[in-house]
């Protein structure tokens, strides 16, 4: 199913940046949640993501990912999540983070 189309103005409202995962830890008493500390160049932010069924915290540290930084913060299990990482899900239980094929500086804008 194809989602409704957006125009260029709508897309330009989205702020996607390169982030480097500095720390990752399981959120206690949850099955899927991992708390991430992500370096975005001029700042670090906390993100909460449901990645535990697919990644261990140890394999996430150091990865460069794509982060939606202008998403309204959300309180997830008492943790303020300040953005959202991008990942692909094939619907068959396979999830993959969107990562970079070249070494760009954290904070670089994704266009």
pTM tops 0.85, yes or no: yes
Rounded-to-integer distance, Cα 59 and Cα 105, Å: 20
Please report, for the chain, the start and end positions of each structural domain, with discontinuous segments joined by +: 13-100
27-72 per-position pLDDT tens digit? 999 999 999 999 999 999 999 999 999 999 999 999 999 999 999 9
- What percent helix, strand, coil does the chain show, rounded to 5? 10, 40, 50
Q: Compute the average pLDDT of residues 87-102.
A: 95
* Dihedral sign (CA 13, 19, 23, 26): positive
What topology is assigned to 13-100 in CATH?
Answer: OB fold (Dihydrolipoamide Acetyltransferase, E2P) (2.40.50)
């Amino acid at each position: 199913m194809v989602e409704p189309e957006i125009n260029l103005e709508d897309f330009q409202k989205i702020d996607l940046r390169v982030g480097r995962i500095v720390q990752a830890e399981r959120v206690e008493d949850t099955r899927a949640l991992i708390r991430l500390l992500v370096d975005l160049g001029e700042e670090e932010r906390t993100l909460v993501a449901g990645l535990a069924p697919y990644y261990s915290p140890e394999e996430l540290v150091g990865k460069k990912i794509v982060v939606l930084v202008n998403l309204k913060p959300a309180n997830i299990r008492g943790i303020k999540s300040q953005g959202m990482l991008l990942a692909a899900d094939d619907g068959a239980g396979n999830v993959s983070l969107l990562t970079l094929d070249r070494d760009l500086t954290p904070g670089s804008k994704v266009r």
